[in-house]
Amino acid sequence: MYRYDHYDQAMVDARVAEFRDQCARRLSGELTEDQFKPLRLMNGLYLQLHAYMLRVAIPYGTLSGAQMRMLAQVARKYDRGYGHFTTRQNIQYNWIKLEDAGTILAELATVEMHAIQTSGNCIRNISSDQYAGAAADEVADPRVWAELIRQWSSFHPEFSYLPRKFKIAVIAANEDRAAMKLHDIGLQVVRNDAGELGCAVYVGGGMGRTPMVGPLIREFVGADALMTYLEACLRVYNRYGRRDNIYKARIKILVHDLGPDEYRRQVEEEFAQLRAAPGGGIDPPAAEWDRIAAHFAPPPFQASFADDEPDLADPDFRVWLSQNVQAHKQPGYAIATISLKPVGGIPGDASAEQMDLIADLAERLSFDEVRVTHAQNLVLPHVPKRELYALWQALDAAGLATSNLDLVSDIIACPGLDYCSLANARSIPVAQRIAERFADMDRQRDLGELKIKISGCINACGHHHAGHIGILGVDRKGVENYQLLLGGSGAEDASLGKITGPGFDEAGIVDAVERTVEAYRRLRADSSERFLDTYRRVGMQPFKEAIYG
Amino acid sequence: MAEQAQSGNDPETGLTSANALRFRADEPTDEPAVTLDSFDAQSNATAVRLEAGDDARALLPYLDRLALVEVDFPTFRDGRGYSAARVLREAGYRGELRAAGDVLVDQLLFMRRCGFDSFAPQSPINPAAAERALHRFPEAYQPAADGAVPIWRLRHG
Ligand code: SF4
């Protein structure tokens, strides 16, 4: 994985010093809250319902053991012993004191971590495929591109006061595990006919109040021009994106209002201007691309493990193996997902002790790498098959071996009204009630892949539009109310869910989900047809009848 | 960024203005800046003021004779002026580029990087704080309009 050189370290250290100074000026009263707000937001510090919340960047969701251990330390020393992994592959701490913020960032900087641009109207942390470097279906490791973009976008002088926040995802496989088309810019690394690597560029996707699947703006931009092209995409947005209405300020509205063709034309014009300027654009030389790529070279896999298979004697292990373990491109190795969705737990939460354990396991069994997924789980990407049983035993002892990857209890939920100052309704208890309702593992496995996603307000941090079943918390005359949506997907077949009809109260929404799921069991062609495919085949009506009947 | 901030002369009053920061060796123009609309009509003006929503590219045919372009920041959150500055510098504009309005010390560095070389902030900026802010970061990741050598070039010579 990528390691800082002295330039990277000096930039992060400088940022820590700057932020300490800003915090001191705020604490002394020299800065007003209004002046401090954009500065703390550029450092991931939000003021929430009960305390400050700090969001720490996990670039493209990749962590080392030492970094994970530092996250545990922050949880233990400065929070209440927990951290919350988010749908942006970041981690949030919900109980932070302003006086501690500078020190926390200084400690994070010792393991090459920061909170730079994890909030504010700037280019946010880059997200990517959690199976990068391990998936058999990728054309290249997307993190090379993500790291290049991280550097280009860090402290970007022109794009730090955009109309609104800006999120970029990079994938390199046809299977989309990062909801790429639901980002402000989604990039898919591809090879052109000449065999050169480059990116297909999708612009203007997003969730929130006006969800949109991003249209393809350019089929191919070569590795030597991508940063300049992104600069052009952002400049058109910075100049012409709406600033009069916060709900219409994301780039998806600009692309939609102009139309993809006109937006593309303007970007191409800007791209041409940038390339005509002295220096011929802003892209680094191939040597820089190669330098970063070397950091993502495959780890030293053992060819002699190729024929290994795990011992299948333990039936519980077998269930976990078939549900949470994926094929690896290297024979003899596997990708293991650690579910952070135990029944009754808070989706995405991990305790300091769990984080420490995962750090140890990563160092011992996965070439010192952990990944965070946008579905709020963790991944050990490179586990020798011969170690899988030992891994499962260690996870099981720590309550981390829930075998529910992509099943009905693997629910994405935003913090909601338990923490978030923008929330209309609680998300976490709804996720907990649904997981409890479907706690029976045989029932979950019979239902197969079924992605439930819950947001506590229209901002859609819980990706409810992209859930096979989505739940949106709204405020109905001062009472929490939940709308039900069906048919969304954040994968390569991206689509937006549709509202079923009138909303429900907290108990009612759990019943409505169960009626939906039972209707699916009756309607499915056979047990291999996923919920989403049944919905797409039969449409909304039979579900409506079952729900409201 | 070797130049030192100098306090500027207010063209209207001729007095030194405590609010102004200027990073140019030449004398400031004493012509008042006209709006983009009246600039089109008044072909001999050499100083223009752009509002945040104005298209800086409208000035490209006249860059040679311009001595001052002032770009307004109605609020520090409105970042359109950063792109206006870069558009002008990329097109070869060498005259004074002034950021005016809600310009705060924490935005100075990015403004300098985008090509602004003078500042007329609404509320005074402490020159020592400005110096600190402008030298906070040892390097820059990306090329912009200030000639800073990007880190990738430092890495690869
Ligand atoms: S979706 Fe709404 S309630 Fe949930 S975290 Fe985002 S802003 Fe807060």
Amino acid identity for residue A536 in this structure: R
Pocket test for ligand 1, best of A422, A472, A475 (most atoms within 8 A of CB): A422
Please check whether residue A71 is in contact with residue A56, taking contact to mean a CB–CB distance below 8 angstroms: yes
Identify whether A127 is part of a domain. no
A338 and A247 belong to one structural domain: no
Identify whether A124 is part of a domain. no
Among B100, B102, B110, smallest CA distance to B134 is for B110
Output the CA–CA distances (angstroms, integers) from residue B37 to A104, A147, A230, B69, in the order listed: 51, 44, 32, 14
A14 and A93 belong to one structural domain: yes
Distance A510 CA to ligand 1 centre (A): 20
Which tokens is B121 given?
């902030």
Which residues are near ligand 1 (CB < 6 Å)?
A 414-416, 420, 422-423, 455-457, 459-462
A315 and A280 belong to one structural domain: no
Distance A414 CA to ligand 1 centre (A): 6
Which tokens is A264 given?
């593309």
Q: Which of A15, A19, A114, A158 to mutate to test the interface with B (most CBs of B within 10 A)?
A: A158
Please report the pLDDT score of residue B41 as a whole number: 65
CA nearest to B88 within chain A: A277
- Cβ of A235 within 8 Å of Cβ of B141? The answer is no
Output the CA–CA distances (angstroms, integers) from residue B147 to A110, A278, A279, B6, in the order listed: 30, 11, 11, 20
CA nearest to B109 within chain A: A157
Task: Using CB atoms within 10 Å of the CB of residue A430, give its burial: 0 to 12 exposed, 13 to 18 middle, 19+ buried.
Answer: buried
Shortest distance between the Cα of A153 and any Cα of chain B, in A, equals 8
What is the number of the ligand 1 atom nearest to the C-alpha of A456?
A: 3
Distance A407 CA to ligand 1 centre (A): 23
- Cβ of B143 within 8 Å of Cβ of A291? The answer is no
Atom 2 of ligand 1: nearest residue by CA position: A457
Distance (Å, rounded) from C-alpha A283 to C-alpha A294?
Answer: 18
Please check whether residue A169 is in contact with residue A187, taking contact to mean a CB–CB distance below 8 angstroms: yes
Alpha helices in A79-112 (DSSP H): 98-109
Alpha helices in A284-348 (DSSP H): 286-295, 315-324
What is the number of the ligand 1 atom nearest to the C-alpha of A415?
A: 5
CB pairs under 8 A between A and B: 105
Distance (Å, rounded) from C-alpha A112 to C-alpha A1?
Answer: 12
pLDDT string in tens for chain A (549-residue length): 999 999 999 999 999 999 998 899 899 998 888 888 888 988 999 988 888 999 999 999 999 999 999 999 999 999 999 999 999 899 999 999 999 999 999 999 999 999 999 988 999 999 999 999 999 999 999 999 999 999 999 999 999 999 999 999 999 999 999 999 999 999 999 999 999 999 999 999 999 889 999 999 999 999 999 999 999 999 999 999 999 999 999 999 999 999 999 999 999 999 999 999 888 899 999 999 999 999 999 999 999 999 999 999 999 999 999 999 999 999 999 999 999 999 989 999 999 999 999 999 999 999 999 999 999 999 999 999 999 999 999 999 999 999 999 999 999 999 999 989 999 999 999 999 999 999 999 999 999 999 999 999 999 999 999 999 999 999 999 999 999 999 999 999 999 999 999 999 999 999 999 999 999 999 999 999 999 999 999 999 999 999 998
Domains of chain B: 3-156 (3.40.50)
What is the number of the ligand 1 atom nearest to the C-alpha of A416?
A: 3
Domain end among A343, A362, A397: A397
Shortest distance between the Cα of A75 and any Cα of chain B, in A, equals 29
A317 and A342 belong to one structural domain: yes
Q: Which residues contact A334 (CB under 8 A, 6 or more apart)?
A: A325, A326, A327, A328, A383, A384, A385, A388
A154 and A281 belong to one structural domain: yes
- Cβ of A156 within 8 Å of Cβ of B90? The answer is no
Q: Which residues pair with A371 in a beta bridge?
A: A62, A379
- Within an 8 Å CB–CB cutoff, is residue A266 touching chain B? no
Alpha helices in A333-386 (DSSP H): 352-365
Task: Using CB atoms within 10 Å of the CB of residue B31, give its burial: 0 to 12 exposed, 13 to 18 middle, 19+ buried.
Answer: middle
| SS3 state of residue A46 | strand
Which tokens is A385 given?
């098959």
Q: How many CB atoms lie within 10 A of CB A220?
A: 16
Distance (Å, rounded) from C-alpha A309 to C-alpha A314?
Answer: 14
- Cβ of B80 within 8 Å of Cβ of A243? The answer is yes
Identify whether A1 is part of a domain. no
Can you give the CATH number for the domain in which A465 is found?
A: 3.30.413.10
Q: Which of residues 35-54 of B touch A (CB under 8 A)?
A: none
A281 and A310 belong to one structural domain: no
- Within an 8 Å CB–CB cutoff, is residue A300 touching chain B? no
In chain A, the number of structural domains is 4
Using one digit for the tens of pLDDT, what is the confidence trace for A208-235? 889 999 999 999 999 999 999 999 999 9
Q: Which residues pair with A192 in a beta bridge?
A: none
A185 and A308 belong to one structural domain: no
A355 and A237 belong to one structural domain: no
Identify whether A281 is part of a domain. yes
Q: Which of B1, B82, B149 to mutate to test the interface with A (most CBs of A within 10 A)?
A: B82
Distance A122 CA to ligand 1 centre (A): 19
Using one digit for the tens of pLDDT, what is the confidence trace for A173-209? 999 999 999 999 999 999 999 999 999 999 999 998 8
Identify whether A115 is part of a domain. no
What is the number of the ligand 1 atom nearest to the C-alpha of A425?
A: 3
| SS3 state of residue B156 | helix
Domain end among A371, A397, A423: A397
Which tokens is A362 given?
């990563």
- Nearest by CB to residue A151, choosing from B141, B144, B154, is B141
- Within an 8 Å CB–CB cutoff, is residue B142 touching chain A? yes
A327 and A470 belong to one structural domain: no
Please report the pLDDT score of residue B19 as a whole number: 60
Identify whether A297 is part of a domain. no
For residue A159, give the H/E element and its range.
none
Structural domain containing residue A483: 412-548
A516 and A469 belong to one structural domain: yes
CA nearest to B80 within chain A: A239
Among A101, A150, A24, A15, smallest CA distance to B136 is for A15
- Nearest by CB to residue A284, choosing from B109, B139, B152, is B152
- Within an 8 Å CB–CB cutoff, is residue B58 touching chain A? no
- Within an 8 Å CB–CB cutoff, is residue A34 touching chain B? no
Shortest distance between the Cα of A521 and any Cα of chain B, in A, equals 51
Distance (Å, rounded) from C-alpha A266 to C-alpha A240?
Answer: 10
A440 and A511 belong to one structural domain: yes
Which tokens is A190 given?
């591809």
CA nearest to B74 within chain A: A243
**ipTM score here?**
0.92
Please check whether residue A114 is in contact with residue A15, taking contact to mean a CB–CB distance below 8 angstroms: yes
Please check whether residue A130 is in contact with residue A145, taking contact to mean a CB–CB distance below 8 angstroms: no
All residues of chain B having their beta carbon less than 8 Å from the beta carbon of residue A121 are 77, 79
Identify whether A177 is part of a domain. yes
Distance (Å, rounded) from C-alpha A268 to C-alpha A261?
Answer: 10
In degrees rounded to 5, what are phi and psi of residue A105? -65, -35
Pocket test for ligand 1, best of A84, A209, A457, A480 (most atoms within 8 A of CB): A457
A419 and A386 belong to one structural domain: no
Can you give the CATH number for the domain in which A25 is found?
A: 3.90.480.20
Using one digit for the tens of pLDDT, what is the confidence trace for B97-137? 999 999 999 899 999 999 999 999 999 998 988 998 999 99
Shortest distance between the Cα of A360 and any Cα of chain B, in A, equals 34
Q: How many CB atoms lie within 10 A of CB A344?
A: 12
For residue B13, give the H/E element and its range.
none
Shortest distance between the Cα of A374 and any Cα of chain B, in A, equals 27
Identify whether A75 is part of a domain. yes
Distance (Å, rounded) from C-alpha A337 to C-alpha A401?
Answer: 9
Please report the pLDDT score of residue A21 as a whole number: 87
- Nearest by CB to residue A160, choosing from B79, B143, B154, is B79
Using one digit for the tens of pLDDT, what is the confidence trace for A145-161? 999 999 999 999 999 99
Among A341, A344, A512, smallest CA distance to A432 is for A344
Q: Which residues pair with A170 in a beta bridge?
A: A128, A187
Domain end among A337, A362, A397: A397
Shortest distance between the Cα of A10 and any Cα of chain B, in A, equals 7
- Within an 8 Å CB–CB cutoff, is residue B86 touching chain A? yes
